Chain A
């Protein structure tokens, strides 16, 4: 079978296809206005707002929280959150720069792959950095009572299980990207 066979078949089929594209579909697209890129940017923006809120709450926690965490602990956790915000901001800018109308397929693919890798690395770094800080709470904080320790452990465990599931799904996506040629 030659490629020309495929072409001749396509040329014979194409004129007879009715694309079923009516004015209503076009109008709906014009009025909808949000594409995959915009939705992704919006999602990234909301996650940045959420983490920024967490950062502010943590930074001011000594004023309002009943448990006073030591300054070094607060500073370290704030640095982790700040790192997350900066990485998200970088990712946001990378997505924003993707130009579906001018960039080549290869450039878009390379950008998406690097974005996914960056996201994976960010997740790994923040998890590894946050783990000892979270584990420190029930072990070292004398003012936390038994139920508080139980709460801390449960919360830490749940957070990491959730993070692990989330991370695994992202790795799956990343693997799909790497295996692009083999699909």
Chain B
């Protein structure tokens, strides 16, 4: 990163590469007190500040996940007196690229209802798992042993197994 302009451009490209990760993490962590736009702004600022020192110890996507989740957890804990999950309808309107999106909307609504019932740590775990982040990377991001990732996923499965499918 030679100068600020290069750095800003490189950062903007990185954000474009991982915009869906940023979106999904902020989408599932947004609350009434910390709305989606605010939490995404927090995540983007954290990414901007940290990208200069990204050491490529893990893949870029894993790092983006880690920063976004850490920022969400930190922001929620420090800013919000009480975490209240929003109903799906209160979330920002989702624009799908396809016009025939009713089925997709239903699927996303179902996913939202399943994922938001989890506690924030389990939410972080499942979000990374959904995107096929390797167990080792999930373990290092979460600060838990690799085996614990598997056992926690098993517990999450039990927790949501009673839910109806769409």
Listed in ascending order, the chain A residues whose CB lies under 8 Å from chain B are: 1-3, 5-7, 9-14, 16-21, 23, 25-26, 28-30, 32-37, 40, 98, 100-101, 103-109, 112, 169, 172-173, 176-177, 180-183
What are 13 A-B contacts with C-beta separation under 8 Å?
Answer: A3-B126, A6-B114, A16-B101, A18-B97, A21-B16, A28-B41, A40-B78, A100-B71, A105-B121, A105-B142, A106-B144, A108-B74, A181-B119
18 additional A-B residue pairs with CB within 8 Å, beyond A1-B161, A2-B157, A14-B24: A5-B165, A6-B160, A16-B98, A20-B92, A21-B23, A30-B11, A32-B45, A36-B42, A36-B79, A100-B46, A100-B67, A101-B70, A105-B73, A105-B121, A108-B73, A173-B77, A176-B81, A183-B119
CB of B121 within 8 A of CB of A3, answer no
Known: A104-B143, A106-B144. A9 touches B44 (CB 8 A): no
For B92, the chain A residues whose CB sits under 8 A away are: 20
* Contact across chains for B20 and A14 when beta carbons are under 8 A apart: yes
- Are B78 and A112 neighbours in the complex by a CB distance under 8 Å? yes
In the bound assembly, the distance between CA atoms of A109 and B120 in angstroms comes to: 11
Q: Mark B112-150, 1 if CB is under 8 A from A, else 0.
A: 001100011100101001110000000011111000000
Interface residues of B in 47-62 (CB under 8 A from A): 48-50, 53-54
8 A Cβ contacts from B21-38 to A: 22-24
Residues in B neighbouring A107, C-beta threshold 8 A: 143
- In the complex, chain B residues whose CB is within 8 Å of the CB of A176: 77, 81-83
Selected from B11, B78, B82, B120, the residue in CB contact (under 8 A) with A36 is B78
Contact of B42 among A11, A16, A35 (CB under 8 A): A35
B124 and A29 contacting across the interface, CB-CB below 8 Å:
no
Contact of B104 with A16 in the complex, beta carbons under 8 Å = yes
Residues B69-118 near A (CB distance < 8 A): 69-71, 73-75, 77-79, 81-83, 92, 94-98, 101, 104, 107-108, 110-111, 114-115
Pick the 7 closest A-B CB pairs, nearest first.
A104-B143, A101-B50, A106-B143, A29-B44, A19-B23, A19-B19, A18-B95
Of listed A7, A17, A109, residue having the most chain B CB within 10 A: A17
Of A1, A2, A180, the residue contacting B121 (CB under 8 A) is: A180
Interface size on B, residues (CB 8 A): 70
- Answer whether A3 and B157 are a contact pair too, CB < 8 Å, given A17-B94, A103-B70: yes
From A100, A106, A109, A181, residue with most partner B Cβ within 10 Å: A100
Max chain B Cβ within 10 angstroms of own Cβ: one of A36, A103, A112:
A36
Determine if A106 and B81 form an interchain contact, defined as CB atoms under 8 angstroms apart: no
Whether A19 touches B20, Cβ cut-off 8 Å, given contacts A7-B130, A25-B44, is yes
Min CB–CB distance B115 → chain A (angstroms): 8
When C-beta atoms are compared, the residue in chain B nearest to A169 turns out to be B81
